[in-house]
Amino acid sequence: MKLEEEEKLPPFYKALKKYARKKAALWSTPGHASGRGMQATAAGRDFYDFYGRNLFLSDLSSSVAETGSILEHEGPAGEAERQAAEVFGAQTTFFVLNGTSTANKIVFFSTVAPNDVVLVDRNCHKSVMHAIIMNEAIPVYLRPKPSSYGLLGPIGMEEMTKEAVRAKITASKWVRNKKAAKVQLAVLTNSTYDGVIYNADKIKALLADQTHFLLFDEAWFAYAAFHPFYDGRYAMSPFQKKRGVHMPAVFATQSTHKMLLAFSQGSMLHFKQGTGKQELDPQGLVEANLMHASTSPFYPLFASLDVSARIMKDRGYELINKALDEAIRFRHVVRLAGERYRKNGTWWFTPWQPPRKRLEKDPLQWKMQPDAKWTGTPVKPEDDLLLDPLKVTLLTPGVREDASMEEEGIPAAVVRKFLESKNIVPEKIGFYNLLFLFAPGVSMDRSRELLEALHSFKTAYDENMPLKEVFPALQKAYPEFYPEQEGLKDLCRRLHTFLKGKQIMKTVSSLYSTLPEQALLPHKAYYGLVEGKTEYVPLAEAAGRVSVFMILPYPPGVPLIMPGERFPQQGGEILSFLQASQELDNLFPGFETEFHGIKKVYANGRTIYMINCLKKIKDISFRMDRHPSAPPEEPPEGEGKTAN
């Protein structure tokens, strides 16, 4: 690189590179001493050669002065963050080296104290629940709309009105002074996991009077600032100055590594003061960051955030514009293929999108119109939701727009297994849908490959190709479950019939119709674990018990139950869902549902789900001192008090 070009490199990366070149004699950590320590064995030498000399030369101790202090936000490190703030439209930006999982916790630690009320998207990432536990906050939930296709429903505006928020606070048995209580922090996942984008500006204005701070978890949405398609729809969008409307202080947490170009774990926290009176002392953010940061930050990771910001500054628009073009082109090709197949009376994948012949980059065309059937969700005019073209969901046959199930169907788990055998990995699947992300790195070649794989799935399915050939390893591992003569179509039919018998789509779409009783606050449930007051019970005995963990199935990635919530005494969608999953695991090995928060035990050839619940003991007393304003403890489990 020419010297004058070198001078133009982003600040931290430039300083780091310069320093690495000096090959200084470091009498400090890390112990590998610029990689020299790796030479002792074959594995070490291979590791060194695989990653290359420069990685080791730039893996430095924080005692090096030239690169500035990452933890104090000074020197080139601080300059890198200041430049990123400008690029992303923030007042303050921190590079967070443990992902958005930690960025979310930093936001909580700088804004929430014990017994503060937080208003949280029920579809939040688990790190938000972890932060609620760590901060001993009182969560009240924004309930998503039902969604027919098993996608994660968006939150409607009706959940965020003054009256609705008030009602949530009033209904919470944990809030002491209901009249005076105000939401301290509101958290919304923007976009939803399926790519539904909110009108962020509208939400800021709507929530301004009801929350001190507003956090948009934009883990998958860091690119929004770089294309006019997303105007007004992301946390750091410029405040629209309207007379009489003030804005709350707003945070965005973004996994730069997910849809942009940083190394894994590279995340950014952006902040902007509100226009009202309440100001956040930025020193609070610095402190909260220190509480979560390692004192030995990985410099190459920090540099990757610096470079990501610079790339977006220089070519952000072009990159996102190209990704949009490619995603829309791909959707179009899939749709056209569907038209051709349908003429011949045969099936194909349906892109989840407005049913328009030719979709373009016009946001108006991607609106989720009220009463539009394709959305599968009851959208209201004031919701103003947009589908992000970059998040491509393909629906497989089997489910109708009203969540009823067709005679024949193709469960997405089977398609995923097929794609994986071709080395193609979707971001996530639901029971009858697959999500593919069109990140800036996706090329036409990559999407052509995907299309070809989908076509070969169709061929294999239509020909009912024997499982022996399609999934040889699976068939060999479980011959008693997948007989030799069974074909791909037979398997799909068998799995679909099972799911249909369980009415799984109805269950999934009404998971939120009633939220479970909050028997304990999440942190109390957690302290129960710390103090050994919990036990694992089989799923069959979980009714009426209080869950210690958040339980999160993939698919569909919806938190079914939060720590401290009670499984309904009778029936309810949550337990039916779990029972169906447990049965599925036992009937279709290789297609198990993944869970966070459940221990699967194999005994006598069967999988049993074990749920961690609070023990039924009389005097459940917690070591934690009770907050003076906290309501009296709930009577412990099984003390004759019925769920309300």
Ligand X SMILES: *Cc1c(COP(=O)(O)O)cnc(C)c1O
Which residue of this chain has its Cβ atom nearest to ligand X in the complex? 99
The pair of three-digit structure tokens given for residue 103, joined into one six-digit string = 């960025």
Q: Which of the 8 DSSP states describes residue 263?
A: P
| DSSP single-letter state for residue 83 | H
Rank residues 92 and 100 by Cβ distance to ligand X and give the closer one.
100
Q: How far is the CB of 103 from ligand X (least distance, A)?
A: 7
Q: In whole angstroms, how close is the CB of 326 to ligand X at the nearest point? A: 22
CB of 556 to ligand X, least distance (A): 14
Query: Does residue 216 contact residue 188 with C-beta atoms inside 8 Å?
Result: yes
- Smallest gap from Cβ 230 to ligand X, in A, equals 17
**Identity of the residue, 159 or 517, whose beta carbon is nearer to ligand X in the bound complex:** 159
CB of 267 to ligand X, least distance (A): 5
Tokens of 168: 């949530």
- Residue whose CB is less far from ligand X, 67 or 308: 308
CB of 272 to ligand X, least distance (A): 19
Q: Which helix (H) or strand (E) holds 310?
A: helix 299-343
Composition of the chain by helix, strand, coil, percent to 5:
40, 15, 45
Nearer to ligand X, 125 or 493 (CB): 125
The CB-of-99 to ligand X minimum distance in angstroms stands at 2
Contacts of 145 (CB under 8 A, 6+ apart): 153, 154, 155, 156, 377, 378, 379
Q: Which is nearer to ligand X, 99 or 139 (CB)?
A: 99
DSSP of 414-480: HHHHHHHHTT---SEE-SSEEEEE--TT--HHHHHHHHHHHHHHHHHHHTT-BHHHHSHHHHHH-TT
Minimum distance between the CB of residue 334 and ligand X, rounded to whole angstroms? 25
Instruction: State the virtual CA torsion across 405, 406, 408, 411 in degrees, nearest 10.
Output: -30
User: Whose Cβ is closer to ligand X: residue 254's or residue 396's?
Assistant: 254
If the CB atoms of residues 189 and 289 are measured against ligand X, the closer one turns out to be: 189
Q: What is the DSSP letter of 517?
A: P
User: DSSP assignment of 123-153, as one string?
Assistant: T--HHHHHHHHHHT-EEEEEPBPP-TTS--P
The string of DSSP codes covering 90-103 is: -SEEEEETTHHHHH
Distance CA(347)–CA(549), nearest Å, equals 41
Residues sharing a CB contact under 8 Å with residue 628, sequence separation 6 or more, in sequence order = none
Question: Could you list the residues that contact ligand X (CB under 6 A)?
Answer: 99-101, 125, 127, 189, 217, 219-220, 255, 267
Closest separation in Å from C-beta 298 to ligand X:
14
And the tokens for 64? 């090096």
Nearer to ligand X, 363 or 559 (CB): 559
Give the nearer residue to ligand X in terms of CB position, either 189 or 393.
189
Least CB distance to ligand X at residue 533 (A) = 30
> Distance between CA 117 and CA 107 in Å, rounded?
15
Q: Which is nearer to ligand X, 100 or 211 (CB)?
A: 100
